[in-house]
Chains A and B, each alone.
Chain A
Amino acid sequence: MTASAQSSREMTAAQPLRVIIATDCGSTTTKAILIEKLGNEYRQTHRGEAPTTVEAPFEDVTRGVLNSFAELEELSGRKILDGERIITPNRAAQGEPKVGVDIYISTSSAGGGLQMMVAGAVQSMTGESAQRCALGAGAIVMDVLASNDGRLPHEKIERIRSLRPDMILLSGGTDGGTVTHVVELAEYISAAEPRPRLGMSYQLPLIYAGNKDARDRIKEILGGKTSLVITDNIRPVLERENLGPARTKIHDLFLEHVMAQAPGYKKLLEWTGAPIMPTPAAVGLIMETIAKKENLNLIGVDIGGATTDVFSVFGGVFNRTVSANLGLSYSVSNVLAEAGLANILRWVPFTIEEQTLRNRIKNKMIRPTTIPQTLDELQIEHAIAREALRLALAHHASLATGLKGVQQERTISDIFEQTASGKSLIDMLQLDLIVGSGGILSHAPRRVQAMLMMVDAYEPLGVTRLSVDSIFMMPHLGVLSTVNEQAATDVFVRDCMIYLGTCVAPIGQGKEGERCADYTITFGEGRSPERGTLAFGDLRLFPLGRDDRAQIELRPAKQVDLGEGRGVSVTREVRGGEVGLLLDGRGRPLQLPANLEARLAALTRWHRAVDLYPGKS
């Protein structure tokens, strides 16, 4: 947290907040929400939106913000603006309960968000640490430069020159270690004379967070050519990352340089009662807060038109990645390029010619605001979404790892189990909750569609709860949590999260129809238990309401594991949601029939079993 955020929190802690207005200035839409204290709890009461106005002809982000406020005023009946001034604090005490707000806060990803280049001496060590640091701060990482990245020096210099990042994070070397590599990188950056993306008139911000012994040399080389900021080493020793100080500097520079260059932001910065956060940083913050509060391991995903962000908290360790070119409109064609046609087609429950599908995907790319009008089109979009979600999680798992290059003590018993350092932290069996966000998940016509998309893409193991963000208010709540954690948590639990239910997925494979596990589900009062056999290839859905819980006992076949070992029975309490309890007997890893007819039959059967689509299902 920045110093100014800290002071803001202290300031607002002193005076109770009853009415809060928050915006997220996205690249296309500015979304405003109104949060009010009703009785003892905070609730999100109204929502307004307007097109973002960072680009020509307006070139002033505050126009869109004011328009979104105007819509909120109309919907809520609350007077928020006096001309172009936000009325603060609220005037309830003066006998005007519907006038004014106590604080205005905002996040921003307008104009492409925060775009960074990072550099580290060794790609898999300080290079990755620098990448994690920038991603955690909410940035898109345009490139990772490293001494051993396989590119020739002149190629590196050309690359630095051609990229126009908002800022650069340079790290390298442990404190007291070699200075040569990091100085070499500084020399390349200096030779490239990089220029910032926005504005010609200021120097590119560069954060140095490497070996402290190299600081003087770095100042000599880059001090005159960049707006250099020096902070603590992100990897002071190989065994430990220290990302906090560099992340704070990234946020400070984001406000001081990047935001200040974006049209209208100077005015916006004056309006807000807490520092503006990059949207993904705010989403990460709320996820981290919730995971820690409830002691959960969670994966959160925000799948947008252009990018897909993945957040995870495992064992209290937070990670975030952004797959900059995986999305469902602007980047839809890139999902096809990365996943391959066959992987998309495997989820489509009907036959379609390759040429037709390719053309349709490209047409969505060039007209990204269109929506599926027919069921076939919806099913194709859902198929693409599964692949985008899958690829983004794979990308995340490769970066959300333990530290690489760390010496591990081995005992004689480890000889047969040589686990390398840098193992992925993502353990699907330990996962408690998946949180989905983004239009395709939040606005799926049937909630079960969102649930099955995430189950198919992530293949959760054992028992996992799933939810979606109702109207994408996690950014707002993230920044709110820096000001008033109770308000953020109240709204998150009551208005933001829509629990879909729980997925129970045994690990193992078998022939279709063969016994996977016997189950007994015991519900609350007045409902008879459900008993049966889940066969391989089965998908079963049992209604279980949001506030309901059930006891499930599973007795797996001998090759099947439910997290306690093969063939070991498991009894767990499961919680419901808008969809219910899903028993997934399709096997893990999930295998779809290779034969086209068999695959279409299986998809149709599964879709019918959970009533996934209208009519045809």
Chain B
Amino acid sequence: MGHAYTPGLTVTERTVIRKRRLLPIPGTVLAKAGDRVRAETVVARAELPGKVHVVNVANLLGLAPDEIQDYLVKKEGEAVGQDEVIAENKPFIRWFKTEVRSPIRGKVESVSTITGQVLLREPPRPLERLAYVDGAVVDLHPGQGVTVETSCSMVQGIFGIGGETWGELVMAVGSPEKTVSVSQLLPAMKNKIVVGGAFLGIETMKRAREIGIAGLVVGGIHDKDLRELLGYDLGVAITGTEQVGFTLVITEGFGTIPMAAKTFELLARHAGQKASISGATQIRAGVIRPEILIPQTTDSPGAGPAGRAVPATERSGIRIGDHVRIIRDPLFGRIGRVTALPTDLRQIETESVVRVLEVKFADGTSAVIPRANVEIIEGE
């Protein structure tokens, strides 16, 4: 059997990341190669075709579909205003006149003499792509967007909801095992990224929304609170478009789980700095994990294109001494170091025969765990 796949999440003080900031449809690139950009800078813009509305003129005027051309006041390609007449019949007595009005402002897209439909299209909507992180434009993709590079500290979460946002990093608690209470969220945290410890509940989330907190980063939450927040039971972990008032990133999992000390300490060191976060998660082909990026404020040696981050997928496997998180009950959330990697297969309680490893915890105890049930904490 090939090497066991052991997923890992990056927690690193210094790395260089590149973000492709592309439009979903072709448009205009506004930034130039070498430009310094801020998270809120518009780097590319496109016009999203407007919504299409269908009006069945034949039905409304009581005509056969192939007759409608003669009754149209507006022809294909012409602009129309809201409530403007687009078709009318021509009765002998004016009282019997029937008019068909446009439900929208836009233009006549097409006319069908088979179905008797007229398709109207709303004006295009501008679509802007922002830089999302403070950094430099290092690559242009004509008609599509740019690549922004930044030297930053990086934390990958395990799950999140909500889209990209940014703000000043603020610590709500003093240690990673603390729970964030409602009273710890203050009005001064508006538009900021607030870091908690092991857990925060639905009441705290509601308070965050009231205050206008931009983002929350915490060790764990309860699934039932997530359901209340979203208003539905999340079935598949493809997220990033939710609009609950803030972006949420959980670093450990569901339940009350102290944030890994390394993660908490890194975030605490950067309190007061600007961070960009995204809750977008996709746990299927092409894994996307939520992230917290803290761009470095001053240029320093080692930063720049040469210091490219090493993607987690390039790791060859797990090694003795690696820092790991246990990601399945009964020791879910515990963090320790790998002390042995036996090559032989072992039978576990379920009677499955699997590859295992031995982990030693900070309190001196140790455990034998299936290799599939640990996650390497990446980064130096």
Contact = CB atoms under 8 A, between A and B. Distances in A.
Contacts of A266: none
A371 interface: yes
Interface core residue of B109, B235, B255, B373 (most chain A CB under 10 Å): B235
B144 to A, nearest CB: 8
Interface in B148-169: 158-159
A365 interface: yes
Q: Is the interface of A mostly helix, strand, loop or mixed?
A: helix
Contacts of A325: 235-236
Nearest to A191: B52
Interface in A342-370: 354-355, 358-363, 365-370
Given A184-B115, A378-B350, A333 B236 contact: yes
Contacts, number: 177
A334 interface: yes
B62 to A, nearest CB: 16
B110 A57 contact: no
A99 interface: no
Contact of A27 (B119, B222, B281, B285): B285
B228 to A, nearest CB: 12
Given A366-B158, A373-B370, A331 B235 contact: yes
A367 B109 contact: no
A176 to B, nearest CB: 16
Contacts of A337: 232-235
Dominant SS at the B interface?
loop
B253 interface: yes
Interface string B213-236: 000000000111010000011111
Contact of A193 (B1, B49, B51, B328): B49
B222 A28 contact: no
Given A57-B311, A191-B110, A367 B375 contact: yes
Contacts of B1: 49, 71
A513 interface: no
Nearest to A110: B285
B254 A372 contact: no
Contacts of A375: 349-350
Given A49-B1, A367-B328, A183 B114 contact: yes
A137 interface: no
A537 interface: no
A374 B329 contact: yes
A355 B255 CA distance: 9
A154 B52 contact: yes
A445 interface: yes
Contacts of A330: 236-237, 283-284
Nearest to B351: A445
A179 interface: yes
Given A325-B235, A367-B253, A157 B352 contact: no
A49 B65 contact: no
B2 A67 contact: yes
A529 interface: no
Interface string B273-285: 0000000010111
B54 A367 contact: no
B357 to A, nearest CB: 12
A412 B332 CA distance: 67
A374 B109 contact: no
Given A154-B53, A371-B352, A363 B254 contact: yes
A190 B54 CA distance: 13
A203 B110 CA distance: 21
Contact of B222 (A54, A184, A195, A358): A358
Nearest to B286: A55
A89 B285 CA distance: 35
B317 to A, nearest CB: 12
Interface residues of B, number: 59
A155 B354 CA distance: 50
A183 B112 contact: yes
B91 interface: no
Contacts of A306: 284
Interface string A158-186: 10000000000000000000011001100
Contacts of B329: 360, 373-374, 377
A223 interface: no
Contacts of A374: 329-330, 349-350
B327 interface: yes
Contact of A57 (B65, B224, B254, B313): B313
Contact of A366 (B224, B235, B237): B237
A111 interface: yes
A180 B66 CA distance: 11
A363 B114 contact: no
Nearest to A361: B223
A273 interface: no
A377 B350 contact: yes
A191 B349 contact: no
B370 A371 contact: yes
Interface in A33-88: 49-51, 54-57, 67, 71
A50 B4 CA distance: 10
A395 to B, nearest CB: 15
Task: List 4 tightest A-B contacts by C-beta distance, closest first.
Answer: A334-B235, A153-B54, A445-B351, A337-B233
Interface of A: 27-28, 49-51, 54-57, 67, 71, 110-112, 153-154, 157-158, 179-180, 183-184, 187-188, 190-193, 195, 200, 217, 306, 325, 330-331, 333-334, 336-338, 354-355, 358-363, 365-375, 377-378, 443, 445-446, 614
5 contacts: A373-B328, A373-B369, A373-B370, A375-B349, A445-B351
Given A359-B255, A373-B328, 4 more contacts: A57-B314, A193-B49, A217-B114, A373-B373
